[in-house]
Structure 1
Amino acid sequence: MIHEIDEALRRVLRGGALPEGTGEVVFETPTRDWAARRNTPTLNAYLYDIREDVDRRERGAYAERDARGVVVRRRQPPRWFRLSYLLTAWTARTEDEHRLLSGALACLLPHEFLPVETLPPVLKDLEVLVPMTVAVPPAESRSLADIWSALGGDLKPSLDVVITTPFPVTPVYDVAPPVTEGAAVSVRGRDGTPADSQPRMLRRTRNGGK
């Protein structure tokens, strides 16, 4: 699922910030050695954090229905995870990097959710929206400066892009087909004839009435 979200983000950036043929959209670790090898305009979305959004966790199984509304299987609800990307621009000139980063910001801001057409089939089948935030201040437990220090590189301007995606959970339980025909029950009397053909006896009351 993570690599499929990578591709969805790549499609969004390709659609506005960095069209095909004008540079690269990659998902590399931005170390100094990697940066030294850059020779083309690049947007790099480095996935630096993965954690579950526990507020979205659901309990119990839910039913999947076919076009007729018949329950065909039951599955566990998906678990939601926040994928945090450090989006940076890499060119030969700082001004060009700022221009490229500005283009990325303008491209991403209109989308509160990943566009449906960019989603992989497994997410389209779930029929859910995939939230995306851009440049929202990170939690206090995170420090972008610490990330750059760990990477051994110099601090650069960056956009914090967070995509909250469902992750399907197995197993999936198939449901037996519904019963469409009832069983006929025949009630017979003591002599073996059907009960409906037995003569009806009227019960008499104690005072002789009917």
Structure 2
Amino acid sequence: MIHEVDEALRTMFRTDALTGGQVVVVFDAPTRDWAAKVNAPTVNLYLYDIREDMRRRERGLLNEYDEQGTVVARRRPPRYFKLSYLITAWTRRPEDEHRLLSSLLSCLLRYEALPADQLTGTLGEIGVSVPMTVALPPPEDRSFADVWSALGGELKPSLDLVVSVPVTESPVYPASPPVGEEGVQLGFGEMPPDQSSAGAPTQRMPNGTHLPVYGTRRGGIASRVAEERPE
């Protein structure tokens, strides 16, 4: 799932924002050692955070149908997870980096979700939108300065991209057979010998008669209560 989002972003940038340029798209952690080895114009999409998008969580079950339109199974709705990318540009001059960031920002603002024709694998099969946001204020529990401090590098102009990706992995619950036009049919038959009234415990009624207590097993609690009840 995550690698499919990576590939969709790489394809979108190469075919839209970076056309005609010799710019490399990578997903490495932009540490100080990594930055020292960059020798070509590079766009880095560093995945630094993964957490569930609780606003999109749904309750209940979704039906699965066969070719006749009959419900054959039920499963939980997709759960969305936010993938947060730190996007940076790396060139020899700051002006070129700003130009790259401007192209990337313009590209991202044209889309509210990843282009459907660029989704592959599971994301392409389920046919669900994959929304994304760019350059929104970070949550209160973290800041971009903290991210750069954790990486051991110097603060650098960047774009924060958040992709909400659906995950459909969940248990499948088979549905019971459908009720036909004939409805529910009931039948009556003789009880097995070990469950007949002759073998069942009895209870004395006010008029002095003894009636069998059904729904109990000989030796069970209800059976012992009935047998131990004084006449």
* TM-score bucket of the superposed structures, by smaller chain: 0.7 to 0.9
Pick closer, same or farther for the CA change 1:132–1:37 going to 2, 3 Å. Answer: same
Contact residue 78 and residue 167 of structure 2 kept, 8 A: yes
1:39 & 1:91 partners in 2: Cα distance? 8
Distance 2:77 2:20 in 1: 37
Where do residues 191-206 of structure 1 align in structure 2 (5 Å cutoff)? none
**TM-score when scaled to structure 1?**
0.79
Letter in 2 for 1:16: D
Distance 2:129 2:66 in 1: 21
Per-residue CA deviation, residues 38-66 of structure 1 (Å, 9 max, x unaligned), is: 11111111111111111221223211224
The aligned counterpart of 2:107 is 107
- Equivalent-residue separation in structure 2 for 1:24 and 1:78 (angstroms): 33
Partner of 1:202: none
Per the alignment, residue 158 of structure 1 pairs with 158
Aligned to 1:82: 82
Runs (5+) with no aligned partner, structure 1: 186-210
Q: How far apart are the structure 1 equivalents of 2:44 and 2:59?
A: 37
With over 3 angstroms needed to count, the CA separation of the structure-2 counterparts of 1:96 and 1:86, relative to structure 1, is same
* 1:44 is the counterpart of 2:20: no
- The number of equivalent residue pairs is 184
How big is the shift at 1:31?
A: 0.3
| Residue in 2 that maps onto 1:33 | 33
Aligned residues of 1:77 and 1:169 also touching (Cα < 8 A): no
Contact 2:4 2:123 in 1 (8 A): no
Asked if 1 retains the 8 angstrom alpha-carbon contact of 2:4 and 2:121, the reply is no
In structure 2, list runs of 5 or more residues that go unmatched.
186-231
Aligned partners of 1:135 and 1:160 also within 8 Å: yes
After TM superposition, what 4+ stretches of structure 1 lie above 6 angstroms from structure 2? 179-183
Give me the identity figure in percent: 61
Q: Give the superposed CA RMSD.
A: 2.3
Bigger fraction of residues in helix: 2
| Deviations, residues 152-187 of structure 1 (Å, cap 9, x unaligned) | 10111000000011111222234467677969x9xx
Please report how far the alpha carbon of residue 32 of structure 1 lies from its aligned counterpart in structure 2 after TM superposition: 0.8
CA distance in 2, matches of 1:110, 1:21: 20
The within-5 A match list for 1:3-14 is 3-14=3-14
Q: Which residue of 1 aligns with 2:143?
A: 143
Q: TM-score, normalised by structure 2?
A: 0.72
Matched residue type, 1:83: L
Contact 1:133 1:161 in 2 (8 A): yes
Aligned AA (2:151): L
Q: Which amino acid aligns with 1:71?
A: V
**2:92 matches 1:92:** yes
2:119 aligned with 1:119, yes or no? yes
- Who is 1:134 aligned against? 134
- Check whether the contact 2:42–2:91 (CA below 8 A) recurs between aligned residues: yes
Work out whether residues 50 and 84 of structure 1, in 8 Å CA contact, stay in contact via their aligned partners in 2. yes
Separation in 2, partners of 1:87, 1:142: 17
Residue type of the alignment partner of 2:76: Q
Mapped contact 2:52–2:79 kept (Cα < 8 A): yes
Q: Which residue of 2 aligns with 1:168?
A: 168
Question: Which structure's relative contact order is higher, taking Cα pairs within 8 Å and 6+ residues apart?
Answer: 1
